[in-house]
Amino acid sequence: MRFDLAASYGEERLPRYTSYPTAPHFSPAINADTYARWLSELPAAASASLYLHVPFCREMCWYCGCHTQIARRDGLIAAYQRTLRSEIAEVADTIGRRIKVEHIHFGGGTPTIMAPEAFAELMAQMRQSFFVLPSAEIAVEIDPRTLTSEMVEAMRLSGVNRASLGVQSFDPVVQRAINRVQSYEQTAAVVDMLRGAGIAGVNFDLIYGLPHQTVASCLDTVRQALELGPDRFSVFGYAHVPAFKKHQRMINEAVLPDGLARHDQACAIANALKEAGYVQIGLDHFARPDDAMAVAFNERTLRRNFQGYTTDKGEVLLGFGASAIGHLPQGYVQNQVQVGAYAQSIASGRLATAKGYGLTDDDRLRADIIERIMCEFSADLGDICARHGAEPEAMLKSASRLKPLISDGIVRLDGDRLAVANDSRFLVRSVAAAFDAHLDPGKQLHSRAV
């Protein structure tokens, strides 16, 4: 790892490139009528993945960057579930057939905040509206502090086979500073419950760069997490954007690690997980060597979407719920962010699309290049450009941000093949950004590169 480069590039604000173009470029010119037309135009052979956003939690974690709100009343959650079911039926009717589904992901917020019977009803609605394949991966994000045995049973009966547990840090000092007190024992009990129910795929989310975090506390969290043997880890750098997420103002900026300290923490976590036998995948994921994600990484079939790295090969992602984003061959769509506006749209019999983006041929070309860089730390520009009817020389000429990356040894260019140097992979977002024709460096819309 090159600490000089971390100092030079680490403070830059860059997208995580879970889409291209990224969400700040979505426009209200793409609306419900556009989405309905795009859905009706889906090819007969298309298959889809489903993302369901449940934007409720019992209390706010101060580091959170998601679209979520506090729900004290269960009635609000029940009403939202009914709206989700209506939206699912509306989208399926607009498509006009039971499209095949290979992946389902519940995100939040806290999806398991729903009553167990409500979760089961929602899964039944999806199976009625779509052809959910027997081999489909069905994943749910979980807050271990609130999961009940009744919900685990509902998940088991509904076919859930993967669970992502928010851990973040086991350090009690850090936990108090982010308003998320969650013991190792709570987390271990949930892992035991899930595995006892046959939900074998278990992921842990960890965060570095949190208040009071140190390399030592990060490594202690990793040590405890490894005792529970998850299949995958997601390791994210905390994005402090209090101008956009007002609850982050509860975090004392004076005790946040600086860029170099964040870099040290990220490196320490990565090295510890690799020493434990996990394969590092892209920017921020780690998986056991026999895990499907590690296999996809080795076979160069790994993909990247709004959930991060994925084994999902589909070209259609249908998003349901307030703020949910979908991806179709024609472009991106995003629902109304506010729950009330979202529910009102669905109640009126219309899709809840608030904005989106129609892809151009140049966007599709750049999206392919950026995805390969993010997934493989390399890109065969000749091959990718040939598939899009473009010239690699023209693409390289347009990537002016690439020149300093090459001169600093971050990127190697061998003919038309680009590769990120092994000791500079932590700057992969900087390399991807070189091909982003929409990036405005003057706008502080994104998290730090390190």
Q: What confidence tens digit (pLDDT) does each residue in 143-194 have?
A: 999 999 999 999 999 999 999 999 999 999 999 999 999 999 999 999 999 9
pLDDT at 336: 98
Of 8 and 408, the structure prediction assigns the larger pLDDT to 408
- 353-358 and 378-380: which strand pairing? unpaired
Residue 368: pLDDT above 90? yes
**Interacting residues of 240 by C-beta distance below 8 A, sequence separation 6+:** 209, 248, 251, 253, 256
Q: 140 with 117, same domain? A: yes
Q: Mean pLDDT across the stretch 332-342? A: 97
Q: 251 with 302, same domain? A: yes
Q: pLDDT confidence of 443, banded at 50, 70, 90?
A: low
Q: 141 with 215, same domain? A: yes
Assign residue 211 the CATH number of its domain: 3.80.30.20
Q: 295 with 408, same domain? A: no
Q: Classify residue 350: in a domain, yes or no.
A: no
Q: Classify residue 342: in a domain, yes or no.
A: no
Q: pLDDT confidence of 450, banded at 50, 70, 90?
A: low
pLDDT at 12: 79
- 162-168 and 131-142: which strand pairing? parallel
Q: Classify residue 433: in a domain, yes or no.
A: yes
Angle (nearest 5°) at CA 242 between 14 and 18: 30
Q: Classify residue 333: in a domain, yes or no.
A: no
Residue range(s) defining the domain that contains residue 382: 1-22+360-450
Q: Classify residue 334: in a domain, yes or no.
A: no
Q: 146 with 262, same domain? A: yes
Residues 49 and 311: beta-carbon distance below 8 Å: no
Q: Which of 301, 326, 351 is the last residue of a domain?
A: 326
Q: Classify residue 343: in a domain, yes or no.
A: no
> How many domains does the chain divide into?
2
Q: 316 with 387, same domain? A: no
Residue 80: pLDDT above 60? yes
Q: 155 with 241, same domain? A: yes
pLDDT at 311: 93
pLDDT at 426: 87
Residue 433: pLDDT above 90? yes
Percent of the chain clearing pLDDT 70 (strictly above): 97
Residue 275: pLDDT above 70? yes
Q: Mean pLDDT across the stretch 6-27? A: 86
pLDDT at 19: 94
439-444 contacts at long range (C-beta below 8 A, 24 or more positions apart): 439/14, 439/15, 441/12, 441/13, 443/13, 443/24, 444/13, 444/241, 444/243
Q: 219 with 269, same domain? A: yes
Q: 215 with 89, same domain? A: yes
pLDDT at 434: 96
Residue 449: pLDDT above 90? no
Q: pLDDT confidence of 441, banded at 50, 70, 90?
A: low
Residue 10: pLDDT above 90? no
> Whose structure tokens read 């989405």?
35
Assign residue 425 the CATH number of its domain: 1.10.10.920
Q: pLDDT tens digits, residue range 203-252? A: 999 999 999 999 999 999 999 999 999 999 999 999 998 988 999 999 99
Mean pLDDT in the chain? 94
Q: 320 with 371, same domain? A: no
Q: 37 with 140, same domain? A: yes
Q: Classify residue 319: in a domain, yes or no.
A: yes
> Which amino acid is present at 302?
L
Q: pLDDT tens digits, residue range 88-132? A: 999 999 999 999 999 999 999 999 999 999 999 999 999 999 999
Q: Note the pTM of the prediction, 2 decimals.
A: 0.93
pLDDT at 61: 95
Q: Mean pLDDT across the stretch 267-293? A: 96
pLDDT at 8: 75
Residue 444: pLDDT above 90? no
Q: Which of 280, 304, 326 is the last residue of a domain?
A: 326
HSE-up of 380 (CA within 13 Å, CB side)?
6
Residue 332: pLDDT above 90? yes
Residue 445: pLDDT above 90? no
Closest CA to 309 of 328, 326, 296: 296
Residue 448: pLDDT above 70? no
Q: Classify residue 341: in a domain, yes or no.
A: no
Return the C-alpha torsion angle 253, 254, 256, 261, nearest 10. 140
Q: 94 with 157, same domain? A: yes
